[in-house]
Amino acid sequence: MQQSRKPWRSFIFFLLVGVIAVFSLLPMHIELIPQQLEELSVPLELPIEIIAVLSLINPLLFIIAGLLIGHFLAERTGFYSVIYEKDRYGTPLLSRLGAIFKISALLGGIGGVIIVAVDFLLQPFLPEVLHISDDEAAFNFFDLATRLLYGGIAEELMLRWGVMTLLVFIMWKIFQRSKNQPTSVIIWTGIILSALLFGLGHYGATAAATDMTPTIIARMIFLNGFGGVIYGWLYWRKGLEAAMIAHMATHVIFILFS
């Protein structure tokens, strides 16, 4: 295939979408930050809107890092994005997205149902603070946008396009340098590790809500990591957009069942 003369167009497109996704967090941060500062007895020295905007710097940096990793390493590692390939090689876009939509949405939806079911079955063994309540059923436009844009797009740019690609690339170069492409063992290790890291990334928030026990830790890793295995497999087999579609479908299930 002949490569496009403008290989950065897809990078800029995903960056803009990522910025929009991150700013969808703003209303939630404006609501939560005063409560967090009050609990920590920290005085409010700046307008809450300024603090909320500053709190978005870290996720923005993570998205930029994920985009850079994927931009330079994904294709070399055997991964791809339908949008990137449209930009680089002129391959069809809409027909390829249509071909992956059903399987991606189906697997993401099934993953969401399994996650909801496991969490429901665990309710009797959890502290009251982690019990499902009617309050969780209330959501607005910004909550929906955050779930679909940040959860479905931004997290995939960070975790699959970025973290999983980097893990697979590093393991490939360390353990299978003589091979032209990483084997399925390396890729599955990257899928599981990236999902596990995302699950463990919720330790701080979970520990702030309740005492950590083996059950709580297992629940935390499963609820946040199980979907990552599905999205990682789709990223490997169907492309980055398939992982995004599945992730968004999972959040649709969460909304419906909440």
Mean of all residue pLDDT scores within the chain: 89
- Per residue in 68-82, pLDDT (tens digit) is 999 999 999 999 999
The sign of the torsion formed by the CA atoms of 207, 134, 108, 146 equals negative
- Per residue in 26-60, pLDDT (tens digit) is 988 888 877 776 766 667 677 888 888 999 999 99
Which residues, at least 6 apart from 24, have a Cβ–Cβ distance to it below 8 Å? 142, 145, 146, 149, 150
Separation CA 166–CA 40 (nearest Å) = 36
Residue 93 main-chain phi, psi, to 5 deg? -105, -60
Helices 94-122 and 82-89, packing angle to 10 deg: 160
More confidently predicted of 204 and 57: 57
Q: What's the confidence (pLDDT) of residue 143? A: 79
Separation CA 116–CA 136 (nearest Å) = 13
- Per the confidence metrics, is the pTM higher than 0.75? yes
Cβ neighbours around 181 below 10 Å, total: 13
Does pLDDT of 207 surpass 90? no
Q: What percent of the chain has pLDDT over 70?
A: 91
